[in-house]
Amino acid sequence: MAIYSVYIINKAGGLIYQYDHSGARPEVEKTFSYPLELVLKVHDEKLVVAFGERDGIKVGHTLLSVNGVPAEGRFLKSDGRDIMDIIADEENYPISLKFGRTKLTTNERIMLASMFHSLFAIGSQLSPEPRSSGIEVLETDTFKLHCFQTMTGIKFIILADPRQMAVDVLLKKLYEVYSDFALKNPFYSLDMPIRCDLFDTNLQQAIEQSERLGISNI
């Protein structure tokens, strides 16, 4: 049971707050000999596994480091060499490569937030029943996304373990924390990113409490 992360989206679809709570993304380091069994491709300026899942390395994982030297996009951070060239050269083997799930950059998070904003609207438009809200719970095999939209159009989104109970209670609690510590902050302007320590600490406390105590004790 866990809460993975929290997103707050304003009524225009802009991301105004994001917090990752738990869930370190898995990383796998392995030594390879020539030729490399994995097929890599460049995607979004990153090297991504295109084919050949093995030993916990999955399709879609990004190359994070070569022989312990971190990668920066498709180049090595230390001397800026193209990693594709290094991998193609037999001289460099055996080689130790570290792979992991692609980390989301701030820009990607902003994009995902506005993507959800429109999915939410389409979900209600395609409803076979009248007066439907947008997406409230979206379920996958590894996580559940819970969304609560306030009367004023702000969306609170929690990604949680599928078995996590009482997420809707936590969502309401986050709304309360938002009204108390973001809205009442005289330095906060509406619909802008929330940068407020008191809000951060109270939000984290609420999440930890709901994880520990489970239901209704928030």
Partner 1 sequence: MTVYNFYIFDRNGTCLHYAEWNRRKQSGMDREEEYKLMYGMIHSIKSFVNRISPTDLKDGFLNFRTSQYKLHFYETPSGLKFIMNTDLSVGNIKDVLHQMYSNIFVEYVVRNPMCSLDQPIKSELFESKMDDFVRGLSFFPMRVA
Residues that bind partner 1 (CB under 8 A): 4-5, 23, 25-26, 58, 60, 101-102, 104, 108, 112, 115-116, 118-119, 122-143, 145, 159
Residue type for position 104? L
Nearer CB in complex with partner 1: 155/202 = 155
Q: Using an 8 Å Cβ cutoff, are 23 and 30 in contact?
A: no
Residues in the chain: 218
The gap between the terminal CA atoms of the chain, to the nearest Å, is 16
CB of 126 to partner 1, least distance (A): 6
Nearer to partner 1, 96 or 142 (CB): 142
User: How far apart, in whole angstroms, are the C-alpha atoms of residue 161 and residue 144?
Assistant: 6
d(CA 26, CA 10): 31
* Cβ 32 to partner 1 shortest distance, Å: 20
Three-state secondary structure call for residue 21: coil
Minimum CB separation of residue 146 from partner 1 in Å reads 11
3-class secondary-structure state, position 192? coil
In whole angstroms, the minimum distance from the beta carbon of 37 to partner 1 comes to 19
Tell me how far, at minimum, the Cβ of 180 lies from partner 1, in Å. Answer: 27
**CA dist., res. 200 & res. 204, Å (int):** 6
Which residue, 78 or 118, is less far from partner 1 as judged by CB? 118
